[in-house]
Structure 1
Amino acid sequence: MQRIEWPTTEWQAGDPAALRMDAEKLSELEGIIKTDYGNINGIVVVRNGYMAYEKYYNGYGPDDTHHVASVTKSIISALIGIALDAQYINHIDQKVLDFFPEYVPDAADRQKQVITIRHLLTMTAPYAFEDWHEPLDIMCMQPDWVKYTLDLLGQKGEIGAFKYSTAGAHLLSAIITRSTGKSAREFANERLFKPIGMKEIPDYEMKSFGFDDLFGKAVKGWVNDPSGNSTGGWGLTLNARDMARFGFLYLNGGIWDHAPIISKTWIDESTAMNPNKYGYLWWLGDEDGTFAYLALGDSGNVICCIPEKSLVVAIASAFMLNPRDRWTLIKEHILPALID
């Protein structure tokens, strides 16, 4: 379909048939979500740039924001790309320690000195903790999260081996601030959120740094650490429509209403399939010939982009341990609604 209006101020709803989607199959989603995916608060399905389906649950509506957890990481990835495009950052293989000249590493710790932005983006920097056992709670109790993470960085393991680290994503947020002079929140508002019609994130002062403030019911806007750095690995709140806007920007190669927001080269690099199935802070999937890249957060917060199908699925969820896999919902109930 020819793009007439961009959803900068408002998403345009499209007739499912005109968008090559089966309205009857889409209508089955509501019952399935209520029965099997009870912590989903909002879902937006966009095809060919138009909203084919939108539904809210548990008393939520289109303007309500949700803590999207690790979906924040994919936003940070976009901001690194924008900072590179604007030459705030020289290149992706720049050393992490270049941005923290006040930090003096142990001379014997050679690994720490060669770790780059690329390693942080691809989760291939070494740390002392075991896989999936990152001591994030300890970081959150520190007065200086960046110093704590730099201390962790480079210990044990080998550069190049995949090890998922939320603290590493926080270093990327600090790198954005060191290179641009703005917090990730401020930089995102100016260079990403506002241009594509996402709600600007206000600056909420952190009253304290307990669990509820950082992860729980008190999370609002975009959480920051005691030094004022926006959290890089979690802590951002978005509504489902804005999650879909971000996914649609990526599907369009970084162009929004004829204006370049992020370079297509960065998006292609960020989402290129590799053996780890993890790009630049994006999860990658290829099942039955369907390639997808996903911003994934705890509790089932998802922005799923399927370029070949011109499809974006944004799901905002309430906190829940071990929710049902959203890819199952997409694969079994949304992809079959496509008419190709």
Structure 2
Amino acid sequence: MNNNSISNFEDLVKNDYSNIAGIAIAKNESLVYEKYFDGYTQEDVLHVASVTKSIISALIGIAIDKGYVNNIEEKVLTFFPDYTIKRGEKTIQNVTIKDLLTMTAPFKYKSEPYTKVYSSDDWVKAALDLLGGKSDVGEFKYTTVGINILSGILTIATGQSVLDFAEENLFKPLEIKVPNNVIIQNKEDYLAFLKDKYVTGWVADPKGVNSAGWGLTLTPRDMIKIGQLYLNGGVWNGKQIVSFKWIEDSTTEKSRWLDVPYGYLWWVVDDGYAALGDGGNVIFINPKKEMVVTIASCYMPRAKDRIELIRKHLMPLF
């Protein structure tokens, strides 16, 4: 690594990846690079979008480790005994937690009805109402609104809010500052959260149930801790936070979108695995190099591929 190479890389970020707010890299458990752009600092949290899904995956694993959930083969409706299935709807009865984790649960929409769900009073029920339909269980169908069902399961199984469960079992042990709830009640709240440059907190519906598919804010250093926890087999400061088996299962192929393998809400790539969020938010873990790369970005539709940036321009520097 030399200063010219780093300077060239940072110029590339400013010119071609202008919505990147922060980058942090750990290698062999040491922070080897950290840089912030566009006025952001290491104290600023950003909305990490679908990286939230991978955090929810960790929380499901912890809930299973602690006996709140028996296993991922449990049927989703087991947790919602009062939910009324619509007449003629059979597919929903067979959907399991595993189907949600692997994005192989069927949903009754062609494009996700974000505004409709996020304007409702109960996002879990709204997601359940969308579950099922004519598609078969087992076909890959990426969903953000549907993953809210996992938040409902966590809330019911643990008897705690998702935020409180995460605080006790993940955030506090990793010394991640616990976010506050941000209640979203309508389309205007939803869009305002996405566009706020200095947004903070974890999005929740009017019932206080945190979103599972998006809506969490973290710093690049927080993201490094999550990545390092996984790289360390679930151990942090000598304590097993997430079981090794859950991490191994989560980061090996269980389903596939086109030619990209998918685990339990983690993308599996040739040289490791990654949590990926819209706008260019990434926790990238390369076990062979013992490296964790995190990128936090401001909201931008159709952001340029961060994995290419990491592989082609960042990893050769370290």
* TM-score normalised to structure 2 length: 0.93
Structure 1 residue 215, shift from structure 2 partner: 3.0
Partners of 2:255 and 2:126 in 1: CA distance: 30
Counterpart among 71, 96, 121 of residue 76 in structure 2 = 96
Matched, 1:171 2:135: no
Structure 1, residues 247-275: CA drift from partner, whole Å, max 9, x if none?
11000000001100000100000000345
Structure 1 residue 194, shift from structure 2 partner: 0.8
Counterpart among 40, 57, 79 of residue 77 in structure 1 = 57
Quick one: which amino acid aligns to residue 318 of structure 1?
C
In structure 2, runs of 5+ residues without a counterpart are none
Task: Quote the residue 1:154 is aligned against.
Answer: 132
Structure 1 residue 22, shift from structure 2 partner: 6.0
Q: Any residues of structure 2 matched to 1:1-340 within 5 Å, and which?
A: 25-106=5-86, 108-130=88-110, 133-204=111-182, 210-217=189-196, 219-274=199-254, 276=256, 277-286=261-270, 291-338=271-318
Structure 1 residue 278, shift from structure 2 partner: 1.0
Partners of 2:17 and 2:138 in 1: CA distance: 36
Partners of 2:182 and 2:27 in 1: CA distance: 34
Partners of 1:214 and 1:56 in 2: CA distance: 21
Structure 1 residue 335, shift from structure 2 partner: 2.0
Contact 1:25 1:333 in 2 (8 A): no
Structure 1 residue 220, shift from structure 2 partner: 2.5
Structure 1 residue 129, shift from structure 2 partner: 1.6
Contact 1:284 1:293 in 2 (8 A): yes
Structure 1, residues 73-118: CA drift from partner, whole Å, max 9, x if none?
0000000000000000011110100111110213532211110000
Partners of 1:23 and 1:292 in 2: CA distance: 27
Question: Using a 3 Å threshold, how does the CA distance of structure 1 residues 278 and 103 change in structure 2: closer, same or farther?
Answer: same
Matched pairs, number: 312
Quick one: which amino acid aligns to residue 190 of structure 1?
E
| Aligned-pair identity (%) | 48
Question: Using a 3 Å threshold, how does the CA distance of structure 1 residues 104 and 207 change in structure 2: closer, same or farther?
Answer: closer
Quick one: which amino acid aligns to residue 182 of structure 1?
Q
Contact 1:173 1:232 in 2 (8 A): yes
Partners of 2:190 and 2:63 in 1: CA distance: 31
Partners of 2:2 and 2:316 in 1: CA distance: 8
Structure 1 residue 28, shift from structure 2 partner: 3.1
Structure 1 residue 305, shift from structure 2 partner: 0.8
Structure 1 residue 30, shift from structure 2 partner: 1.2
Quick one: which amino acid aligns to residue 8 of structure 2?
E
Contact 2:48 2:216 in 1 (8 A): yes
Q: Say which is worse superposed, 100-109 or 294-303, in terms of deviation.
A: 100-109
Structure 1 residue 208, shift from structure 2 partner: 5.9
Quick one: which amino acid aligns to residue 153 of structure 2?
I
Root-mean-square deviation (CA, aligned residues, Å) is: 1.7
Structure 1 residue 25, shift from structure 2 partner: 3.6
Partners of 1:186 and 1:170 in 2: CA distance: 16
Partners of 2:229 and 2:120 in 1: CA distance: 36
Contact 2:68 2:158 in 1 (8 A): yes
Quick one: which amino acid aligns to residue 198 of structure 1?
I
Task: Quote the residue 1:10 is aligned against.
Answer: none
Question: Using a 3 Å threshold, how does the CA distance of structure 1 residues 145 and 202 change in structure 2: closer, same or farther?
Answer: closer
Structure 1, residues 204-241: CA drift from partner, whole Å, max 9, x if none?
55576633355332843101011110011111010111
* TM-score normalised to structure 1 length: 0.87
Contact 2:47 2:215 in 1 (8 A): yes
Find the residue that maps to 1:32 and give its secondary structure. helix
Find the residue that maps to 2:301 and give its secondary structure. coil
Find the residue that maps to 1:38 and give its secondary structure. coil
